Chain A
Amino acid sequence: MTLVTRFALTRGSFELNVDLSFNEGEVVAIMGPNGSGKSTFLHAIAGLLPVTSGILILDGATLDDEASDAFIDPTQRTVGIVFQGGLLFETMTVLDNIIFGLRARKIKRADAVTQAEPLISQLGLTDFLERQPRELSGGQAQRVAIARALVTQPKVLLLDEPMSGLDTSTRQLIREEFREVLAGFAGYQILVTHDSEDAIAIADRIIELDHGKVIWDGTVADYRGKK
């Protein structure tokens, strides 16, 4: 099974142009400077931006195809996304953040809580459920964001700079946790980062973007050699 991303996406004067495919279970880090198109790439996969031309295919199903005017709504894509800082919904408790995806699918609250239970304990969030997001540390918020993204059992997990803005010691800790969580996740995993240490620590494969184009694509071992 593969995720095929062969598309161009234009925003103003910027154009992202990629032809990449991803394998299930593979952890891929996308690297590149600011404005290289890393985040735009994730937005396109999540369906938050439509492609300008080309196709996006997940496990044989077309997500976005400009030529045939096919576009699957983000709500139907089975894609989970985690942003820098977690971007937790500030007006809800931690628990309501985690079960948001289940509630949005009209699952009763009690059932949603039961369903989220294993994930909550796996991520060690049992004691934080009634807290407000602003009361959490950076690392805790990031864990809640992961739980929120995984609760709907997505096929694709997108991580947009999840470790930026954390201090060095937290970063080490979160890196370990990420490795653990990602190892238990069977789907596609794409991590955007501008930090090569993060990429090397977590990923199997590294892709470098610059000015909207792929300038490097290879294994972590090759990337280390290159450096």
Chain B
Amino acid sequence: MNRSRRHRQKLPWQIVLIAAVAAAFFLAPFVGLIWRTPWSKFTDIVTRREIRDALWLSIETSLITSVICCIFGVPLAWLLARVEFPGRRFIRALTTLSMVLPPVVGGIALLFTFGRRGLIGQYLDRWFGIRLPFTMTAVVMAQCFVAMPFLVLTVEAALRQFDSRYEGVARTLGGSRWYVFRRITLPSIRPSLFAGFVLAWARALGEFGATITFAGNLPGTTQTMPLATYVALDSNPESALILSLVMIAIAFTILIVLRDRWLGRTDQGVPL
């Protein structure tokens, strides 16, 4: 008790003040949102058909996206972390690029690549009759484009931290590369894999720019929650408020799950 009181006296008030402004800035919009939410209409709006469709589509596509991100992202992360090959830095930079790129640019790039006249899209159309834009597949592709880096970077960091001598020992014991990867490497990075999965899922769930550009905004097919929310803001602000609230609830759940189960507690520093 004595100790913590001494520490409190030493806290520089300037820093505390500025930090408090920052914290208030994050908090105020939520208070504003909750304050304006028409609670009486909550169930009415949430159970509306187009809202249910958007919610379901969001959950469905974002989960598919996260699984695809794992299937393709884990091998990519492994290559980046473990194998020296020409162009490795370029590929890592490329992976990170879609993280820092405005999503709408990603959407345009996807459109001009996989669109009907795109680099790859024209052949998909001509040879197989496949048209990707404005389909659910396009929603998933747009989400993968922006979400996969979160998984790749999380898993790559975990692999880098994981002492490669464990894999060396396993190899000398007769384990093939694939066996060692399955039995040793993958189980050891499981917490990070899960964290990467959840981060990618969260990013996919919130995807807006790339989706609306590449997949469009067709209710029931490509209109995900963020799109529905944006549209509702014009026509029916109350729906927009409630939809926002639903997404905040989902985001909070993600944070809590991540914090308590996988990222470890970070409660350290000067006690108040």
- Contacts from A to B (Cβ < 8 Å): 43, 46-48, 73-75, 77, 79-81, 83, 87, 89-91, 100-101, 104-105, 148-149, 152, 154
Give bound CA distance, A47 to B169, whole Å. Answer: 11
Q: Given A91-B187, A91-B188, A104-B179, do A43 and B174 touch, yes or no (CB 8 Å)?
A: no
- Cβ of B173 and Cβ of A152 under 8 Å apart? yes
> Closest CB-CB distance, A19 to chain B, in whole Å?
24
Q: Which 7 A-B pairs rank lowest in CB-CB distance, beginning with the nearest?
A: A101-B173, A91-B187, A104-B175, A74-B171, A104-B174, A48-B168, A74-B172
Within 8 Å by CB of A104, from B168, B170, B188, lies B170
B185 nearest CB across to chain A (Å): 10
Q: Given the complex of chains A and B, what is the CA–CA distance between A89 and B183 in angstroms? A: 9
Cβ contact of A87, chosen from B165, B171, B174, B190, cutoff 8 A: B165
Residues of chain B within 8 A of A148, CB atoms compared: 169, 173
Contact B175 A81 (CB under 8 A): no
Q: How far, in Å, is A98 (CB) from chain B's closest CB?
A: 10
Bound state CA distance, A43 and B175, in angstroms?
Answer: 16
B184 interface residue (CB < 8 Å to A): yes
Across the interface, which residues of B come within 8 angstroms of A46, CB to CB?
A: 168, 172
> In the complex, which residues of chain B have a beta carbon less than 8 angstroms from the beta carbon of A152?
173-174
Which B residues from 153 to 182 make CB contacts under 8 A with A?
Answer: 163, 165-166, 168-176, 179
Q: How far is the CA of A30 from the CA of B190 in the complex (A)?
A: 37
18 CB < 8 A contacts A-B: A47-B172, A48-B168, A48-B172, A73-B171, A75-B171, A75-B174, A75-B176, A80-B172, A89-B184, A91-B190, A100-B170, A100-B173, A100-B183, A101-B173, A101-B174, A104-B170, A149-B169, A149-B173
In the bound complex, how far is the Cα of B190 from the Cα of A100, in angstroms? 20
Inter-subunit contact A87/B173 (CB<8 Å)? no
Residue from the list A47, A83, A104 in contact with B165, Cβ < 8 A: A83
CA distance A148 to B175 in the complex (A): 13
Which among B171, B176, B179, B188 is the interface contact of A90 at CB below 8 angstroms?
B188
**Minimum CB distance partner of A100 in chain B:** B173
Min CB distance A94 to B, Å, is 15
CB of B161, distance to nearest CB on chain A (Å): 13
Give the distance in Å from the alpha carbon of A83 to the alpha carbon of B183 in the complex: 19
Q: Name B121-177 residues within 8 Å CB distance of A.
A: 163, 165-166, 168-176
Residue in A closest to B163 when the chains form the complex, CB atoms: A87
What are the residues of chain B within 8 A of A101 when measuring CB–CB? 173-175
Tell me whether A89 and B168 are in contact (CB under 8 A).
Answer: no
CB distance from A39 to the nearest CB of B (A): 9
Choose among B163, B165, B187 the residue with the greatest number of A CB atoms under 10 Å from its CB: B165
Interface residues of B in 186-227 (CB under 8 A from A): 187-188, 190
Question: Which listed residue, B169, B173, B184, touches A83 by the CB 8 Å rule?
Answer: B169
Nearest chain B residue, comparing its CB with the CB of A79: B172
B residues less than 8 Å from A105 (CB atoms) = 174
Q: Contact partner of B175 among A75, A83, A90, CB < 8 A?
A: A75
- The docked-state distance in angstroms from the alpha carbon of A80 to that of B190 is 27
Max count, chain B CB within 10 A of own CB: residue among A75, A80, A83: A75
The answer to whether A104 and B172 touch across the interface, beta carbons within 8 angstroms, is no
Q: Which residues of B contact A80 (CB under 8 A)?
A: 172-173
Shortest beta-carbon distance from A53 to chain B in Å? 19
Most buried by B among A47, A77, A89: A89
**Cα distance A104–B170 when bound, in Å?**
9
A90 to B184, CA, bound (A): 9
A contact residues around B172 at 8 Å (CB): 46-48, 74-75, 77, 79-81, 149, 154
A89 to B188, CA, bound (A): 8
A100–B167 CA distance with the chains assembled, in angstroms: 12
Q: Are the C-beta atoms of A104 and B187 separated by less than 8 Å?
A: no
Having A46-B168, A75-B176, A89-B170, one finds 14 other A-B pairs with CB under 8 Å, namely A47-B172, A48-B168, A75-B174, A77-B172, A80-B172, A87-B165, A89-B166, A89-B188, A90-B188, A91-B190, A101-B173, A101-B175, A104-B183, A152-B173
Known: A89-B166, A89-B184. A48 touches B171 (CB 8 A): yes
Which residues does chain B contribute within 8 Å of A100, judged by CB atoms?
A: 170, 173, 175, 183
Q: Which of B170, B171, B173, B188 has the most A CB atoms < 10 Å from its CB?
A: B173
Determine the distance from Cα of A46 to Cα of B187 in the docked complex, in whole angstroms.
Answer: 24
